[in-house]
């Protein structure tokens, strides 16, 4: 059977950085994100006996024997195990934004692959089970399996059965919330999130301090979302991001994802905020700066961001929906 799904990327407001179980993809800490309307992956999966090996086409290019291909085959193996099918699959996937530039393409990618793959293999999963499956492909994909504002609860059980995504609030709860992504570079990063977080857990002397303060950030951001307290969400998001980057920078060898333009934008935001334009930044494992703000300030902020040296493009997103099945197949 052939199935197609669309899933949105997400932006972490409280970051996931570090695993306690690499095989089951269990995180060291819980995290919170907003699902992003308009930054998406569409994926079609077909299991059929006509395929003698798995095929993966990403953005019109067939990938073979690289890490991305291996991750997809591993995920298909998991779906085959759950469903009992032995057939190989063809997977065709398209992102509508640059892959591997710190824009969480693995989040929307594995959420879409999990939904389309499960459906194509004949299994119906609710969003909780879908998020557990997506988690095995990429941690941040767990959160892309719910819409709006989402918590990935790290869970306590060793088998990972309680490590899944829970919706904090629907997209309609806070429709004025916006994230503006700036694109300063589309070059594939040197250190992947996966390798970077493993190195951080192993070698960063600050890592324990990170874990010690995450629970407080989770509480604040959750309360901020429920009470629509933008200042509380913004301040906590920005400081949580800086704490994560402090752990990256202090690993051995150091991982510095920032580029000169990243710092230009950080300084601009701090200055604009001081003069009364309320906005905050957050940055993942890459050079792009994501600015969070309210709808009323979007056009002014876009104008100012586009004037910052090194900014190639801006993309505005509002809170988005959970993954969905669609009828238009990619092949």
Site residues (CB under 6 A) for ligand DP6?
Answer: 12, 15-17, 25, 31, 104, 106, 138-140, 193-194, 284-285
Find the shortest distance in angstroms from Cβ 132 to ligand DP6.
13
- Other Cβ atoms within 10 Å of 258 Cβ, number: 17
Specify the length of the chain in residues: 331
Residue nearest to ligand DP6 (CB): 139
The residue among 136 and 318 lying less far from ligand DP6, judged by its C-beta, is 136
Question: Nearest-CA neighbor of 305 among 275, 274, 262?
Answer: 262
Find the shortest distance in angstroms from Cβ 302 to ligand DP6.
23
Contacts for 173-176 with beta carbons within 8 Å, 24 or more apart?
173/148, 173/149, 173/225, 173/228, 173/319, 174/149, 174/225, 174/228, 174/319, 175/295, 175/318, 175/319, 176/294, 176/295, 176/296
The residue among 22 and 64 lying less far from ligand DP6, judged by its C-beta, is 22
Find the shortest distance in angstroms from Cβ 191 to ligand DP6.
11
Find the shortest distance in angstroms from Cβ 31 to ligand DP6.
5
CA distances from 304 to 86, 97, 284, 285, 313 (A): 54, 22, 22, 24, 12
**Torsion on CA atoms 100, 106, 109, 115, rounded to nearest 10:** 180
Question: Nearest-CA neighbor of 282 among 321, 237, 250, 325?
Answer: 237
Q: How would you classify the pairing of strands 55-58 and 89-95?
A: parallel
Find the shortest distance in angstroms from Cβ 110 to ligand DP6.
8
Find the shortest distance in angstroms from Cβ 105 to ligand DP6.
9
The residue among 194 and 243 lying less far from ligand DP6, judged by its C-beta, is 194
The residue among 177 and 257 lying less far from ligand DP6, judged by its C-beta, is 257
For 154, residues 6+ apart whose C-beta sits below 8 A from its C-beta are 26, 27, 28, 29, 30, 163
How far apart are the C-alpha atoms of 197 and 207, rounded to whole Å? 10
Find the shortest distance in angstroms from Cβ 14 to ligand DP6.
8
The residue among 11 and 293 lying less far from ligand DP6, judged by its C-beta, is 11
The residue among 102 and 302 lying less far from ligand DP6, judged by its C-beta, is 102
The residue among 101 and 279 lying less far from ligand DP6, judged by its C-beta, is 101
């Amino acid at each position: 059977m052939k199935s197609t799904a669309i899933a949105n990327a997400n932006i972490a407001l409280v970051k996931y950085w570090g695993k306690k179980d690499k095989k089951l993809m269990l995180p060291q800490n819980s995290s919170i994100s907003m699902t992003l309307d308009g930054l998406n992956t569409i994926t079609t999966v077909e299991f059929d006996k006509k395929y003698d090996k798995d095929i993966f086409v990403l953005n019109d290019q067939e990938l073979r024997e690289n890490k991305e291909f291996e991750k997809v085959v591993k995920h298909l193996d998991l779906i085959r195990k759950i469903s009992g099918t032995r057939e190989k699959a063809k997977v065709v996937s398209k992102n509508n934004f640059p892959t591997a530039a710190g824009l969480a393409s693995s989040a929307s990618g594995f959420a879409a692959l999990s939904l389309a793959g499960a459906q194509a293999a004949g299994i119906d999963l609710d969003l909780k089970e879908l998020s557990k499956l997506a988690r095995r492909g990429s941690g941040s994909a767990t959160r892309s399996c719910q819409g709006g504002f989402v918590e990935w609860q790290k869970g306590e059980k060793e088998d990972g059965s309680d490590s899944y995504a829970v919706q904090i609030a629907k997209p309609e709860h806070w429709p004025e919330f916006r994230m503006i992504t700036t694109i300063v570079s589309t070059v594939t990063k040197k250190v992947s999130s996966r390798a970077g977080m493993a190195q951080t857990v192993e070698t960063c002397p600050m890592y324990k301090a990170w874990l010690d303060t995450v629970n407080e950030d989770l509480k604040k951001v959750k309360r901020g979302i429920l009470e629509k307290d933008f200042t509380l969400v913004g301040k906590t998001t920005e400081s949580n991001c800086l704490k994560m980057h402090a752990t990256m920078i202090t690993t051995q060898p150091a991982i510095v994802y920032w580029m000169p333009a990243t710092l230009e934008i950080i300084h601009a935001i701090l200055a604009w905020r001081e003069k009364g334009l309320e906005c905050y930044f957050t940055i993942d494992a890459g050079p792009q700066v994501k600015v969070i703000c309210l709808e009323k300030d979007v056009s002014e902020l876009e104008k100012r961001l586009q004037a910052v040296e090194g900014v190639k493009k801006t993309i505005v997103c509002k809170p988005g929906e959970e993954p969905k099945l669609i009828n238009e197949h990619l092949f």
